[in-house]
Structure 1
Amino acid sequence: MSDESDGDADRDDAESAPADVESVVATVRNRIDPDPDERSRLRSVADRLLERAESAATERCPDADVVQVGSTARNTWISGDRDIDIFVRFPPDLDRETLERYGLAVGHETLPEGHEEYAEHPYVKGTVEGFDVDVVPCFRLGSATEIRSAVDRTPFHTQYLQERLDDALADDVRLAKQFLKGIGAYGSDLRTRGFSGYLTELLVLEYGGFRSLLEAAADWQPPVELDPENHGRASGDADRPFDDPLVVIDPTDPERNVAAVCAAENVARLQHYARAFLADPSVDHFEPTTPDPIDAADLRAHVDRRGTTPIAIRFEAPDLVEDQLYPQLRKSLAGVTDGLDARGFDVFRAATFADETAVLLVELAVAGRPAVERHSGPPVHVRSHAEGFYESYADDPEAYGPFIAEDRYVTERPREFTTARAFVASDRLFDVGLGAHVETTLEDEYDVLVDEEVTALLPEFESELAAYFQPEP
């Protein structure tokens, strides 16, 4: 074989060889690390806004100060992220009403084109040269254990990580964040219930890097308990038990589990994809994906193949922010599934999603039940209770029995609902545990869609239904 042929063979082998972790990581870094120009532009805008906010704050309260917090302050932001978070800290002896008034005034002077939004404190949000900016008031406290609102601890988080994250670890935090975004597990909002930025930073710091985090996560045995500052507040602690699948004690506040919002599904999702990536490294793990489109014919084919009965309750989505809406939707879905299960309709799987409208989707293994249901009474030898049961049904013309089965009275009485549709279309739906705003909306109007009728959901929820019927980890 010629030297030229040998070279061709070597190139073919290299192209067909599986990628290693290092080469994949290098490729991803080139995509997600902010370049010098992007860093310079962000720093310029942030410095100008910080100066403007500090001038406005100290004019009103000489003891106030201003700090930048979040990923752009900690050098853990991903290229393309446009968030600048400015916290205006006021002394703790200031009353809350004055803090909110001063905070809004400072926010509006800092962001003249901004608008007010509301979390625990009202704050001002706006856009400056393409950057999304929040100006948030908080109290300046001695430690995070003294917080008077959730935002008060954020500056402590920034300080803690700034003192511990070097450039190499910050690079690895970006990788971890992008990996979690790629697998759909990033974000502490109550829709996602995934890994927050702060939690991701703590995990990379705890394990010493991105790869070592994945190697550890691949072998996690939940509940996983991490206590970076050895506060002694693990899940078995009698004073402050945590029963979450992942427990990461906040280094700045031993009473708090940073991972409390992280759902068991997302902990398991990280484990699954950590194993998959280490076994077969690919940039695909860092890229969010959407399922293949599904149309009405596909959906009907899935339902026919599964032999189940989907039933959907569709209603106008309550006018709530997602962090309020999704807990109510999940509570309502749990109530509906419990109600269907209790009536013998055997819930197979369920999901909820929302946009302009909201949907509680329940897939049933059993869609119809007999016209009668069995009702067992007490053993005959328990005289007082047995006689009371017997007398209750002895003269009921619609009941079969009472009769004796083994040692107890039994009757077969008419079933209230023989179909799932009849139940969810009735007022008895409101006997289950619904979220308050969902219940109010359902009282006005809702649609019940059964079997192939759920194809009516496709124009609004094509992606959600595709994900439901084409599930992946």
Structure 2
Amino acid sequence: MPSLDSVLETVADRVTPAPEERERLADAAATLTDRAEAALADHEVDGDVLQVGSTARGTWLAGDRDIDLFVRFPTDYDRAELERLGLAIGHEVLPEGHEEYAEHPYVTGEFEGFAVDLVPCYDVASATDIRSAVDRTPFHTQYVEANLTDDLAGDVRVCKGFLKGIGVYGSDLRTEGFSGYLAELLVLEYGGFEPLLRAAADWHPPVTLDPENHGKTTFDDPLTVIDPTDPERNVAAVLSTANLARLQHYARDLLADPRLDLFFPNDQPTLDGDAIRTHLDRRATTPAAIVFETPDIVEDQLYPQLRKSLAGIEAGLEAHDFTVFRSATFADAERSVLLFELATTTQPAVERHEGPPVAVREHAEGFFETYADDDAVYGPFIEDDRYVAERPREVTDARAYLDSDAIFEVALGAQIETALDDGYDLLWDEDVATLADRFGAELAAYFEPAP
């Protein structure tokens, strides 16, 4: 078995950009910065241009080709003017670029093979004075540059490679993982990647880290890392409980069995329809898939709404005593899926409803009077010390429930509700296997799960 040191050394060699790559990126960033500064001057804006992100901090992975440039405006510009001028400058720097929207619009495009974002922000005095979330990013760059040595930058790259390899790298709301900035802070906090690994393997969440010992707020999150530039912000706020647990699992795995495939896994497996049908036969459960057109919204809006809708419909099924064995949601640009694997799909025509103890007079009498004259109810009768009634069940068939307007009575994401109202397909049993052509990888992750 290779040693941990030898594995980490090999990983470091593979994730460290070569000098030629660094030079190409530096030249491209310099050219773009010159263009942006010229555009600022043309618009008579007393601002500046700052390269931010991992390429500015020297922690990007070999092969990553992203350049993030922030155009900083004086704070006396109102929001509308910042957005208007920011887009104008962005289009002048990237004539072939297009607009995207985070907290406010920005221009993104390609230059000499690099993916480039031109983001307007305010030149505020400190991260606690921000007017929008992007305003704090330059302070992150300043903090990391001031504290990160070349050796630690190498450890950050190894850390990012590990997080990427185990599938938890990215602070987007689809991934709910570790941002690059969070990885940098964790390596700084523990003094390297290996010390971070050993610490994470023994964490007992919730875990709180405060690099500058200045936190002013408590957070109900599994991992809290107080932003060194903002005492009221948790850098790990997006991180899900499951992804924190995955880091712990794979940290222990790497320490026990050092190997490269935790950093560079094989291609994601997929399943075809026959393989899915084999799993369904083996499991003897009843799968149901609600399939509908994906709303035209960004992923950071889509996935929270998908998860909310999945949880809402699952709660509706459970409320009618249909046991959901497991559920999942996935989507591409065209179709979205809410998948439920049911242990039960039918229920008796009656349901048991337990009332209060007879001794609790006021509530007991109310319960008794509610059902005493209802011919559809069995009872009320007494079991032990309380009233019980057996009343007609509102929903007896999960298939009918999912194919009815009842699903609109649960908590759904706003755009998901609209999409479902426009129409959806309901696939049952082996028909779920027809999703393999489009979602073979997602179904592989579901039917052949790993930590």
Shift of 1:396: 3.0
Question: Corresponding residue for 2:163?
Answer: 180
Q: Distance in 2 between matches of 1:354 and 1:471?
A: 18
With normalisation by structure 2, the TM-score equals 0.96
Question: Corresponding residue for 2:146?
Answer: 163
Shift of 1:384: 5.0
Return the match for 2:8 from 2, 21, 25: 25
CA contact (8 A) 1:181 1:288 kept: no
- 1:470 paired to 2:442: no
Matches within 5 A, 1:64-463: 64-233=47-216, 240-355=217-332, 356-463=334-441
* Mean CA deviation greater in 368-377 or 83-92: 368-377
Q: Distance in 1 between matches of 2:268 and 2:78?
A: 51
Cα 1:396–1:96, aligned 2, differ >3 Å: closer, same or farther?
A: same
CA contact (8 A) 1:378 1:409 kept: yes
The DSSP-based 3-state class of the residue aligned with 2:352 is strand
1:296 maps to amino acid: G
Shift of 1:132: 0.8
Q: Give the share of equivalent positions with the same residue, in percent.
A: 66
CA contact (8 A) 2:224 2:235 kept: yes
Cα 1:281–1:358, aligned 2, differ >3 Å: closer, same or farther?
A: same
CA contact (8 A) 1:182 1:289 kept: no
* Mean CA deviation greater in 426-435 or 176-185: 426-435
1:156 maps to amino acid: F
Q: Distance in 2 between matches of 1:267 and 1:253?
A: 23
Q: Distance in 2 between matches of 1:187 and 1:345?
A: 35
* Mean CA deviation greater in 261-270 or 372-381: 372-381
Cα 1:395–1:207, aligned 2, differ >3 Å: closer, same or farther?
A: same
Cα 1:438–1:184, aligned 2, differ >3 Å: closer, same or farther?
A: same
1:361 maps to amino acid: L
With normalisation by structure 1, the TM-score equals 0.92
Return the match for 2:30 from 42, 47, 52: 47
Shift of 1:174: 0.8
Q: Distance in 1 between matches of 2:193 and 2:357?
A: 63
Cα 1:419–1:289, aligned 2, differ >3 Å: closer, same or farther?
A: farther
The runs of 5 or more residues in structure 2 that have no matched partner are: none
Shift of 1:388: 4.2
The DSSP-based 3-state class of the residue aligned with 2:391 is strand
1:285 maps to amino acid: L
* Mean CA deviation greater in 360-369 or 394-403: 394-403
1:343 maps to amino acid: H
Shift of 1:137: 0.6
Shift of 1:143: 0.4
The DSSP-based 3-state class of the residue aligned with 2:289 is strand
Q: Which has the larger radius of gyration?
A: 1
Shift of 1:152: 0.1
CA contact (8 A) 2:270 2:442 kept: no
Shift of 1:62: 4.3
Shift of 1:224: 1.2
Q: Distance in 2 between matches of 1:259 and 1:105?
A: 33
Shift of 1:141: 0.7
The DSSP-based 3-state class of the residue aligned with 1:163 is helix
CA contact (8 A) 1:61 1:90 kept: no
CA contact (8 A) 2:272 2:437 kept: no
Q: Distance in 1 between matches of 2:274 and 2:71?
A: 55
The DSSP-based 3-state class of the residue aligned with 1:86 is strand
Q: Distance in 2 between matches of 1:22 and 1:249?
A: 30
Cα 1:300–1:38, aligned 2, differ >3 Å: closer, same or farther?
A: same
Q: Distance in 2 between matches of 1:47 and 1:412?
A: 76
Q: Distance in 1 between matches of 2:148 and 2:67?
A: 19
1:197 maps to amino acid: G
State how many pairs are aligned: 450
Shift of 1:87: 0.5
1:102 maps to amino acid: L
1:404 maps to amino acid: I
CA contact (8 A) 1:58 1:65 kept: no
